[in-house]
Amino acid sequence: MTDRTGDRRRRLLVAAIAVCAGIAAALAHPPWGVLPGLLGYGVMLWLADRSAPQKPLRSAFWRGWLAGCGYFAVSLHWLVYPFYVDAAEQAWMAPIAVVVVVTGIAVFWGAAMALYRRFAGRGVQRVLLFAGMLAGFEWLRGHVLTGFPWDLPGETWVAGSAPSQTASLVGAYGLSWITVAIFATFGVIRDGRSGVVASVVGVAALAGLYVFGAIRLAHPPGADVKAPWVRLVQPNVRQEANYDQALFVRILNQYVTLTRSPAARTPDIVVWPEGAIPAALEDYLAPGTWTVRAVAEAVGPSSTLVLGGYRFSGDSSKPAIAYNSLVIARPDGEKLKIEALYDKFRLVPFGEYIPLDSLAGKLGVKELVHVGDGFASGPRPRPLTPPDVPAVQPLICYEVLFPGFTREGAAASGVRARWIVNVSTDAWFGPGAGPLQHFNIARYRAIEEGLPMARATPTGVSGMIDAFGRVAKGQSLGEGAYGVIDAPHPPPPPATPFSRWGDTAFWLMMLVSLAGVGPSPVAGEGGRRPDEGTPASPIWHFET
């Protein structure tokens, strides 16, 4: 009885350590910024190495899954807020959705640690395999079922800081490999002299991130006196208001009033957020309506309007198809002339469309999540080249999570964008960490591509971001702010290595990870792994 009680306590202790390791790694991300939490990756490697010898793969999976649950419970806690937009109908689903998403995504981490345990060699080079497995499964998380790459390990660093600049070389996935590898070295520090050397190398690599970033940040491109002046509009309209047609006039007047705000210089480009006005674009921008006259007058004849909204395509002979779109328009008398149109490509599963739609309808899922027939996906992102506007790559909300869209659009079209416009509806994320995390992630796309970004949301965070992921003082509006940002279009530096070669460096790192592959470890005498010189503490030798 005593042995069973002690075994149960040890199981709970290991489970708690795994969860805490994941929580610590998540808390290293903005807005918390507890960077020592990155040592959680070293703890994860340590736990995987000491998984139960009787069933090591099952044990390693379980520990990795628990670490993933801790990580994603912190990173994705904001998922409860969308269900409170229509609280009467959907609030009951909030805890269920969070548990399902967190525990489901954590499977990627469990699989990563199980495969690491299966193929890890005997030396400290197994750090490379651990980094490869975790970064590789993070890549899968960003691609399977459209992907959801929220808070990649490489996006731990505050965008615009020195360490974040390495994303211009290797992208967020490559920086994830580097970040995990650096801090996983502390998981082998007890491997004698070689473990200490590995940890020293990790510290040196960390210093290298800071040195490279400092050098890159010290050489920004010169200012362009002819750069267009951009106005970002943030009216602080909560998400609930977009479903109340009685508030339509008030919301439109807020946008019009802010757009007409006096400024030292008339803006050349005005940016409104995603889904700015709670009506179809073809309705309130239709020629002859009072609404289009109000918008055109506010923008003025010398400015261009960029705005997000939904639209319908089709005629009386076909069912209407809805798109989440971005349009670029110029006033033409009392109407707006559409110069360019972009339909959102990467839609939010269960938010903008239902995967396996016919099956979901039979199961009643469509009715539960109130998506209806949802939106249709547009073509893959490509730059838009409207008159009098620098070539621009639109990214709508969720799309800014995905590295590479801008680079791929340039390769497909032969046109490199001069800037990125990200319109979003961050009111879905509620107050607190969600919008701040999204803002940090968005800034990584600017670093990777070496392009400035204009980001507009109804409730914050909006900002003018330079090509290094930085936001100058006075060029951002936080959560709940009402106002505009007037800023010059920042100049783009030369194309970055990532914008040229994409994830090539990341895949080379994955090949380097193979150096950590060795004979499958099996339990030796006394439950030891063959690479361990001394018997391990009994606490690690039970099945979890």
State how far the alpha carbon of 475 is from the alpha carbons of 114, 238, 263, 488, in Å. 45, 22, 14, 10
Contact (CB, 8 A) for 412 and 382: yes
Q: What is the dihedral of CA 503, 504, 509, 511, to 10 degrees?
A: 120
- Say how far apart CA 51 and CA 29 lie, in whole Å: 27
Domain coordinates of the chain in residue numbers? Answer: 2-84+91-218+500-528, 229-312+323-343+380-490
Furthest CA-CA distance within the chain? 86
CA distance 59 to 15: 10
Q: How confident is the model over 87-127, as pLDDT tens digits?
A: 777 788 888 888 999 999 999 999 999 999 999 998 999 99
Is the pLDDT confidence value at 373 over 70? no
Selecting among 69, 155, 397, 449, the annotated active-site residue is: 397
Q: What is the mean pLDDT of the chain?
A: 89
Residue 361 neighbours by CB distance under 10 Å: 13
Point out the catalytic residue in the list 69, 339, 344, 449.
344
Q: What are phi and psi of 331, to 5 degrees?
A: -60, 135
Give tens-digit pLDDT for 274-320: 988 989 999 999 999 999 999 999 999 999 999 999 999 876 566 78
Q: What is the pLDDT of residue 429?
A: 81
Q: Is 397 assigned a catalytic role?
A: yes
* Residue pLDDT, tens place only, 172-199: 999 999 999 999 999 999 999 999 999 9
pLDDT of residue 449: 97
Catalytic residue, from 69, 138, 155, 274: name it.
274
Question: Whole-model pTM?
Answer: 0.92
> What sign for the dihedral angle of Cα 73, 74, 78, 84?
positive
Residue where the block lists tokens 């951002």 = 476
- Could you say which architecture CATH assigns to the domain 229-312+323-343+380-490? 4-Layer Sandwich (3.60)
Around 515, how many Cα atoms within 13 Å sit in the side-chain half-sphere? 12
Region at 393 (left for phi over 0; alpha for psi -120 to 50; beta for the rest)? beta
Instruction: Kindly tell me the sign of the dihedral angle through the C-alpha atoms of 287, 289, 294, 297.
Output: positive
